[in-house]
């Protein structure tokens, strides 16, 4: 038996999956001030009368980190940068930062030494300002950790109580400002996240649920709860990730589809391309910060069932705000939900009130209420179709750096539009028709998110950089540096090395059994020519266990 719980914006949904199908669902309203209570409330509701000893796995997806950041409840962090030559750090929107001397270049070579007394001064300044959390991030530190380690060490000696996070442990990919932001958010959320994780563990123990507990990440993968405390920000946006994984679980594999989650004020859109959810190319945007958190590319459009309708100069304007519920459900003004009711596309609420709402709109437009309702629905569908087309176009226009990528990139068209969320059943067929795609609203659409959490498998990424001229390989996130003796290392050998290192990392994170699912998602090799001879090779391999479903999930 598998349990999935998604703490969503309005409700907390829970499902029980057994033998490849959903056997029970439960939900409680979400109380944003006590997520733990919601989670346990939904869980208790779900496991009533269930033999908890048969539970094999519990997966949670929570809005904890999202809310913390949105509400500004993260802990204060001192940011220490070792930027070296390049951009003026002030051009990054990272806020106040202490800038240290010292520099590493793209090859991992030290090009400027650290200044120890400057570091000590920085440490006393930081502790003097009352910070107990520090993020230390150097440019190209993923190619050589020495500076970050040294700065971290000096800071730790000066501030033994402080929590210090080093950039290279957070991400091995290129992008210094994103890595700085991600490192900052990691250390800013770590303590509160740990408290939450420990509380969950205690509560489950108290309920005699002894199965492993996982948390869902923004890339649709799971991670053991106790390991996730090292990387709390990765759990951001796990709600949309849960829905997308749910859609994967509930539909035919391998399709290209659009996931449309129509809520009250917003509609979330995501793409599944040939069966694989599209990831945002460089990482998620969290509030105003660009990060390196791997996340599905989700576009939030400010239009939904409760969007306010205005008529100005004979033109309809829908959204972006909500002025309360639809008129047909006791609200004060017309909304798209009222329009759907008038057209007979839904049976929610009071028909007479819906008609009144549309009559208001019709009076301003100078048409019948039926025509007004049709115009409103058309406008909503237009907007969603426009945004979906934009998403496909953005994907097609993503920059590429090799000839074959530019020449070969195919055009993809949506085969199906899959609806989840409250407004889905009425609107999805209309959107699908416009896109020339099949319309699918799965049977369990309202709890697709919880199903997604229940059946998602772990994900993992490993970035391996090899520089055979410098005789070393490096896995930044692990802080691992190894020796290389073969100057002419082949891609095949490097990929085998990556596979072994990924298996070791998976083992440490408690997801070793999935290491076999890993695949190479990026691989490049360059000969280094100096003069007319090859002096070495640079190889970069990214290996991933991609998002996927547990093998035991088998319907469809």
* Strands of the 533-545 sheet, one edge to the other: 480-483, 472-475, 460-467, 533-545, 519-530
Establish if 386 lies at the interface with other proteins (CB under 8 A). no
CB of 282 to other proteins, least distance (A): 7
In degrees to the nearest 10, what's the CA dihedral of 346, 350, 356, 358? -20
Site pattern 98..137 for other proteins (x: CB under 8 A): -----x-xxx---xx-------------------------
Instruction: Indicate the length of the chain as a whole number.
Output: 556
In the complex, least distance from residue 535 CB atom to other proteins, rounded to whole angstroms? 11
Residue 282 or 434: the one with the smaller Cβ distance to other proteins is 282
Q: How far apart are CA 396 and CA 381, in angstroms?
A: 23
Residue 118 or 552: which CB sits closer to other proteins?
118
Q: Tokens standing for 17?
A: 């999956």
- Residues in contact with other proteins, counted by CB under 8 A, come to a total of 42
CB of 435 to other proteins, least distance (A): 23
Question: What is the nearest approach in angstroms of other proteins to the Cβ of residue 142?
Answer: 9
523 binds other proteins (CB under 8 A): no
Cα 524 from Cα 466, distance rounded (Å): 10
Pick the binder of other proteins from 57, 133, 139, 169 (CB under 8 A).
139
Selected binder of other proteins within 146, 174, 209, 345 (CB under 8 A)? 174
Beta-bridge partners for 475? 480
Tokens of 460: 């993992």
- Does residue number 71 form part of the binding site for other proteins (CB under 8 A)? no
Nearer to other proteins, 86 or 555 (CB): 86
Q: Does 470 help bind other proteins (rule: CB under 8 A)?
A: no
Which three-class secondary structure state does DSSP give residue 381?
helix
- The reply to whether 390 sits near other proteins by the rule CB under 8 A is no
CB 60 within 8 A of CB 212: no
Give me the least distance between CB of 146 and other proteins, in Å please: 16
Nearest approach, Cβ of 225 to other proteins (angstroms)? 32
436 near other proteins, judged by CB under 8 A: no
- Give residues 327-346 in contact with other proteins (rule: CB under 8 A): none
Q: Which is nearer to other proteins, 162 or 525 (CB)?
A: 525
Q: How far apart are CA 446 and CA 392, in angstroms?
A: 26
To other proteins, the closest distance from the beta carbon of 317 in angstroms equals 25
- d(Cα 166, Cα 160) in Å, to the nearest integer? 16
Site string (262-301) toward other proteins, x via CB under 8 A: --------------------x-------x-----------
Q: What is the DSSP string of 478-503?
A: GTEEEE---TT--HHHHHHHHHHHHH
Q: Are 139 and 88 in contact (CB under 8 A)?
A: no
* Structural contact between residues 304 and 294, judged by C-beta atoms closer than 8 angstroms: no
Cβ neighbours of 86 (radius 10 Å) = 11
Cβ of 417: how many Cβ atoms within 10 Å?
Answer: 29
201 binds other proteins, rule: CB under 8 A: no
Is there binding between residue 48 and other proteins (CB under 8 A)? Answer: no
> What is the token pair recorded at 364?
């301003």
d(CA 226, CA 204): 13
The SS3 assignment for 400 reads coil
Q: How far is the CB of 534 from other proteins (least distance, A)?
A: 8
Q: Binding to other proteins by residue 532, rule CB under 8 A?
A: yes
Largest interatomic CA distance in the chain: 83
Determine the interface stretch with other proteins among 171-179, 245-253, 440-448, 480-488 (rule: CB under 8 A).
171-179
* Contacting residues toward other proteins, per CB under 8 A: 83, 85-88, 90-92, 103, 105-107, 111-112, 139-140, 174-178, 282, 290, 397-404, 406-407, 524, 526-529, 532-534, 538
């Amino acid at each position: 038996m598998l349990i999935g719980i998604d703490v969503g914006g309005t409700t907390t949904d829970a499902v029980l999956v057994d033998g490849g199908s959903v056997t029970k669902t439960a939900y409680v309203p979400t109380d944003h001030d006590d997520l733990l209570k919601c989670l346990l409330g939904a869980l208790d509701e779900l496991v009533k009368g269930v033999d908890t000893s048969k539970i094999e796995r519990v997966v949670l997806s929570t809005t904890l980190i999202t809310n913390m950041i949105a509400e500004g409840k993260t802990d204060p962090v001192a940011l220490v940068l070792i930027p070296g030559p390049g951009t003026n750090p002030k051009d990054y929107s990272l806020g106040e930062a202490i800038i240290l001397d010292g520099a590493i270049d793209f090859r991992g070579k030290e090009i400027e030494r650290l200044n120890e007394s400057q570091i000590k001064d920085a440490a006393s300044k930081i502790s003097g300002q009352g910070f107990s959390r520090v993020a230390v991030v150097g440019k190209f530190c993923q190619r050589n950790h020495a500076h970050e380690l040294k700065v971290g060490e000096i800071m730790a000696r000066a501030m033994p109580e402080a929590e210090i996070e080093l950039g290279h442990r957070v991400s091995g990919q290129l992008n210094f400002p994103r890595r700085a932001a991600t490192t900052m958010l990691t250390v800013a959320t770590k303590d509160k996240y740990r408290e939450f994780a420990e509380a969950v563990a205690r509560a489950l123990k108290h309920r005699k649920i002894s199965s492993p507990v996982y948390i869902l990440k923004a890339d649709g993968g799971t991670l053991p709860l106790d390991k996730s405390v090292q990387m709390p920000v990765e759990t951001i946006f796990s709600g949309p990730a849960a829905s997308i994984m749910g859609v994967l679980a509930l539909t035919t594999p391998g399709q290209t589809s659009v996931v449309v989650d129509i809520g009250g004020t917003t509609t979330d859109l995501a793409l599944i391309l040939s069966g694989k959810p599209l990831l945002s190319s460089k990482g998620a945007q969290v509030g105003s910060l660009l990060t390196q958190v791997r996340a599905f590319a989700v576009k939030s459009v400010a239009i939904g069932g409760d969007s306010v309708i205005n008529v100005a100069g004979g033109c309809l304007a829908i959204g972006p705000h909500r002025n309360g519920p639809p008129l047909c459900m006791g609200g004060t003004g017309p909304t798209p939900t009222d329009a759907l009711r008038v057209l007979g596309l839904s049976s929610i609420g009071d028909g007479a009130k819906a008609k009144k709402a549309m009559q208001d709109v019709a009076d301003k437009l100078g048409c019948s209420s039926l025509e007004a309702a049709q115009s409103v629905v058309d406008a909503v569908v237009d907007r969603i179709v426009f945004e979906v087309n934009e998403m496909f176009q953005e994907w097609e226009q993503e920059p590429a750096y090799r000839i074959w990528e530019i020449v070969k990139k195919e055009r993809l068209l949506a085969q199906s539009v899959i609806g989840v969320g409250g407004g889905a059943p009425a609107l999805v067929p209309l959107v699908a028709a416009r896109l020339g795609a099949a319309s699918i609203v799965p049977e369990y659409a309202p709890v697709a998110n919880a199903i997604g959490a229940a059946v998602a498998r772990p994900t993992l990424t490993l970035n391996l950089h090899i520089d055979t001229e410098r005789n070393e390989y490096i896995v930044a996130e692990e802080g691992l540096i190894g020796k290389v003796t073969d100057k002419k290392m082949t891609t095949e050998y490097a990929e085998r090395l990556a596979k072994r290192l990924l298996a070791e990392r998976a083992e440490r994170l408690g997801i070793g059994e999935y290491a076999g699912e890993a695949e190479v998602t990026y691989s490049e090799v360059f000969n280094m020519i100096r003069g007319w001879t090859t002096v070495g090779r640079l190889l970069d391999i990214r290996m991933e266990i991609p998002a996927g479903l547990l093998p035991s999930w088998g319907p469809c």
